[in-house]
Structure 1
Amino acid sequence: MQNSKIPEHVQEVQSENRKLLKQLDNRHIQLIAIGGAIGTGLFMGSGKIIHLSGSSIILTYTIIGFFLFFVMRALGELLLSDSSFNSFADFSTAYIGPWAGFFIGWTYWLSWVVTCVGDVVVIGGYMQFWFPNLSLWISAFSALGFMLLINTLSVRLFGEMEFWFAIIKIVAILALILVGFVMILAGYTSPDGVKASFSHLIQNGMIFPNGFQGFVSGFQIALFSFVGIELVGIAAAETKNPEVNLPKAINGIPIRVVLFYVSSLVCIISVCSWEYIVPDKSPFVGLFTLAGLPTAAGIINFVVLTSALSSANSGVFSTSRMLFGLARENAAPHAWGKLSTLNVPLRGLFVSGLCMFIGVTLLFITPTVMAVFTLLSTLSSIMLIFIWSMILISWLSYYKQGKCISHNLNYKLPGGKVMAWSGLIFFSFMLVALAFQQDTRNGLLIAPLWFIWLTILWKTKKTTNHLKLKQQ
């Protein structure tokens, strides 16, 4: 009622002067970090990776987790170097140039729009497990609408949702590890005659069953499991006491990779053996089924459903914040940089939501679009490789400018330049690895079109701004 008495132009100024509130507690940021480090790919895609890589899958996840830890340390140092930075688009602009913030901001936005569309469509498939006659579009649109509603209210509600989604994933993985270790220690023998033993990890022909190419191909799929690990950098702007809570969340990444990825995969391979793991089914379901738990399929379906909901929720949140940041940097329409009375970037949220609704609609209208979407998912991962690389390039520029000395931060990137360059070399290798399979190779060939389009937009924007200055 009070707002109605305030002149409209005053309300506009108030909206523009509002800032994102720090409403996320330490428990929220810690669980957002954990949830981001545990992707749906671990539950559903690990069977295919084991089929390709054998027990070397453990090495695959360890290597990816190792390099992403240093990316996150660089991210943490850069965000803490200036309290005005809300995301990696901000420090990319500051340390590389306005074009970098423009490219990284819009690329991150698109990657999450695509990912979110896929997540809500997949949610429809998961719901059919319990309700076979339920139309896919009902579940998909309902899930997307629910996530948009949650994100219109407050960032704290988003944090609570991510907190409980992450708890469910953690409980599922810890249960698998516990059941697996009990079966190994008890010397369980499967109906196929396989005795549970750690020796399956190092048996001849099980470490690199498909040679070096199979090992490299495993990286393509494993990488998808880590999509979202950088989300903690977006949420940092709305986190209480980020100087303490952000480093805590990032420093826990190595422990999470060992606990959630390595330990669970060790149990799966030790109990089931590489030869008997089916590539197109969840190895989590397989292990619980062997343990005599008939409800295993339902349990894992629920876990993967919540994982997809978590990813969709993260997509809705991060795209709205990225558009907000782009608008504040004059890289997107000015109106998207305004906050609601609840300090939520509603306009950016609705724009992202509209694009997601259109994407979901197209998936149902076009019969062959699911094959196209597989390609888009690959593009999303390529975009994230670009973003992770830009974070490291931003840190190198920050280091070259001597900012790391002037800011005198206690939280620094371990290994400095050596690890930053090592990370960039690794991501270059990842792009080469994408060429090994036909579906990801197509994505690699198409990805440059997005960056060509961004280049055109950037040059148009510069020309428009130049003409405006001339007219003034």
Structure 2
Amino acid sequence: MNTQPTLTKDGEETGTTGASHSSDGLKAGLKNRHLSMIAIGGVIGAGLFVGSGSGIAAAGPAILLSYALVGAMVVFVMRMLGEMAAARPSSGSFSAYADRALGRWAGFSIGWLYWFFWVVVLAVEATAGAKILESWIPAVPQWGWALIVMVVLTATNLGSVASYGEFEFWFAGIKVVAIGAFVVIGMLAVFGVLPGSDNPGAGFAHLTDSGGFFPMGAGAILTGVLMVVFSFMGSEIVTLAAGESEDPQKAVTKATNSVIWRIGVFYLGSIFVVLTLLPWNDKSIVEKGSYVAALDSIGIAHAGQIMNVIVLTAVLSCLNSGLYTASRMAFSLGRRGDAPKAFAKVNKRGVPTAAILGSVVFGFVAVFFNYKWPDTVFAFLLNSSGAVALFVWLVICVTQLRMRGIILRETPEKLIVRMWLFPYLTWATIGMIVFVLGYMLYDGGSAREQVVLSLLVAALVIVIALVKERFSKSSAEPSELSERV
């Protein structure tokens, strides 16, 4: 039997019967250990493993500052989002908050853009995973592996939210253990105390011995920012998942408070190890990948295959979370009347079946485009979703400026997580994000194309939202309008 919760006059989600369900009708099947691991592993994507080499080659050791700048921006954004999510846990997270604070058009627009981003990510990650699997078992074609991976993870998400949580717990756990081990082993090698290491232990000399700390100039820091910013996307997933946990406020608070050390250890720590084990301009960093090159330098046997297993785990984790995130955003949009009503229905297990299937169908179509027209249709999809991460962070900042007053006015006792130095640090973060977007336009090349195409798609979605809102108001009864006001 399907259950469909109702909405308040402000478009917020209300509870349903049954203690086993969260405030918006989804089953509270995520345990605290699931949320903890989702929070820890949420900021670790395959991009950190395979894309960091390009950033190092572009900025040299100064890439550490690029990671630090983006990391600080993510910490601030997560603090703002944590403030709102702890006070009002919702499957729609920032989209639902934007709906309330900025207007229906804002919630509609950023919700659909975020959904679009993740269904494109499904195609990217499915293809990346298929390439690795095909290299191991070439008898199955690449498209076959992509199909298998998508089907398996779709079945997992359709099973129950606990199934998603369990899979993500182990996927994220492998990533966390792998990076933790890499940092520990790498630092032992850096100081020359790792038994049997082939690396002479250069210490910190490699940070400056090949052209200094800024070999490509200080401006390369900004170039590095553009190359690493998107590897941080996904840190906000825990605030969507919190709505299906046993204790949403505790989960969000814990995740928000831990984001600083997570970024410090996993991003800055691992890149620091690479840069101290090898000169930044070592060709193997780009050719093999930064992690494989670092492991090779200290004599770890079969480093490439070990890293392939870890990257595959990261890919599957990203696919799993991407499908979960897209479906929950579609579910929330459906509940607010901004998506087909079927998306808002959950089955007896508390799973939004239609929202999951709708998201995965688009993901399958995107995979097909990736194989059929990779340089045209899929390239457009990829570029037109490229800057959505920054749009989402910008909307979170602007929404928090308004939501602080709403929370203080209506439920001040729930303001248990507070943004630091409000509103000054919020405005400073807005300035940082706008600056990055502006620099992407100025930098040219693929960065400019991503911003322009993403802005065009965003403008189209906003126009649709405004037209829909205008049509809804014109067709509404006067009494209904007075209730919404």
Distance in 2 between residues matched to 1:37 and 1:424, nearest whole Å: 21
Distance 1:198 1:375, change over 3 A: farther
User: Is this contact kept in 2: 1:187–1:197, CA < 8 A?
Assistant: no
Q: Match for residue 237 of structure 1?
A: 243
For residue 292 of structure 1, give the secondary structure of its aligned residue in structure 2: coil
1:266 Cα offset (Å): 1.6
User: Is this contact kept in 2: 1:47–1:282, CA < 8 A?
Assistant: yes
Please point out which of 254, 258, 262 is paired with 1:256.
262
* 2:402 is the counterpart of 1:397: yes
* 2:455 is the counterpart of 1:468: no
User: Is this contact kept in 2: 1:55–1:201, CA < 8 A?
Assistant: yes
* 2:58 is the counterpart of 1:65: no
For residue 225 of structure 1, give the secondary structure of its aligned residue in structure 2: helix
User: Is this contact kept in 2: 1:77–1:411, CA < 8 A?
Assistant: yes
* 2:126 is the counterpart of 1:120: yes
Quick one: percent identity of the two aligned structures?
31
User: Is this contact kept in 2: 1:69–1:253, CA < 8 A?
Assistant: yes
1:192-341 equivalences in 2 (<5 Å) = 196-203=202-209, 205-277=211-283, 278-341=285-348
Distance 1:307 1:413, change over 3 A: same
Please point out which of 373, 383, 386 is paired with 2:388.
383
Distance in 2 between residues matched to 1:455 and 1:132, nearest whole Å: 45
Where in structure 2 are there 5+ consecutive unaligned residues? 7-15, 18-24, 481-485
The one-letter amino acid paired with 2:445 is Q
User: Is this contact kept in 2: 1:49–1:279, CA < 8 A?
Assistant: no
Distance 1:298 1:371, change over 3 A: farther
- More deviation in 424-433 or 462-471? 462-471
1:204 Cα offset (Å): 6.2
The one-letter amino acid paired with 1:254 is I
Where in structure 1 are there 5+ consecutive unaligned residues? 1-10
User: Is this contact kept in 2: 1:53–1:207, CA < 8 A?
Assistant: no
- More deviation in 198-207 or 332-341? 198-207
1:83 Cα offset (Å): 5.0
Please point out which of 342, 345, 348 is paired with 2:355.
348
1:58-97 equivalences in 2 (<5 Å) = 58-83=64-89, 86-97=92-103
User: Is this contact kept in 1: 2:190–2:277, CA < 8 A?
Assistant: yes
Please point out which of 440, 450, 454 is paired with 1:443.
450
Q: Match for residue 136 of structure 2?
A: 130
> Given the two structures, how large is their TM-score scaled by the length of structure 2?
0.88
1:127 Cα offset (Å): 1.0
User: Is this contact kept in 2: 1:155–1:344, CA < 8 A?
Assistant: yes
- More deviation in 399-408 or 135-144? 399-408
User: Is this contact kept in 2: 1:217–1:437, CA < 8 A?
Assistant: no
User: Is this contact kept in 2: 1:323–1:348, CA < 8 A?
Assistant: yes
Q: Match for residue 20 of structure 2?
A: none
- More deviation in 266-275 or 208-217? 208-217
User: Is this contact kept in 1: 2:126–2:149, CA < 8 A?
Assistant: yes
Distance in 2 between residues matched to 1:127 and 1:176, nearest whole Å: 23
1:92 Cα offset (Å): 1.0
Query: For the aligned residues, what is the CA RMSD?
Result: 2.5
Per-residue CA deviations over 1:337-368 (Å, capped at 9, x if unaligned) read: 110111111011111111111111122222xx
Distance in 1 between residues matched to 2:240 and 2:329, nearest whole Å: 8
User: Is this contact kept in 2: 1:15–1:339, CA < 8 A?
Assistant: no
The one-letter amino acid paired with 1:107 is L
Structure number having the greater helix percentage: 1
For residue 211 of structure 1, give the secondary structure of its aligned residue in structure 2: coil
Per-residue CA deviations over 1:76-97 (Å, capped at 9, x if unaligned) read: 1112223567521111111111
The one-letter amino acid paired with 2:266 is F
Q: Match for residue 21 of structure 2?
A: none
User: Is this contact kept in 1: 2:29–2:246, CA < 8 A?
Assistant: yes
Distance in 2 between residues matched to 1:388 and 1:432, nearest whole Å: 15
* 2:112 is the counterpart of 1:106: yes
Distance in 1 between residues matched to 2:411 and 2:343, nearest whole Å: 34
The one-letter amino acid paired with 1:286 is A
The one-letter amino acid paired with 1:214 is A
The one-letter amino acid paired with 2:400 is W
> Given the two structures, how large is their TM-score scaled by the length of structure 1?
0.91
User: Is this contact kept in 2: 1:187–1:196, CA < 8 A?
Assistant: no
1:414 Cα offset (Å): 1.3
State how many pairs are aligned: 459
The one-letter amino acid paired with 1:154 is S
User: Is this contact kept in 2: 1:152–1:346, CA < 8 A?
Assistant: yes
Distance in 1 between residues matched to 2:118 and 2:89, nearest whole Å: 25
For residue 200 of structure 1, give the secondary structure of its aligned residue in structure 2: helix
For residue 232 of structure 2, give the secondary structure of its aligned residue in structure 1: coil
The one-letter amino acid paired with 1:292 is G
Distance 1:131 1:402, change over 3 A: closer
1:257 Cα offset (Å): 1.3
Distance in 1 between residues matched to 2:89 and 2:54, nearest whole Å: 43
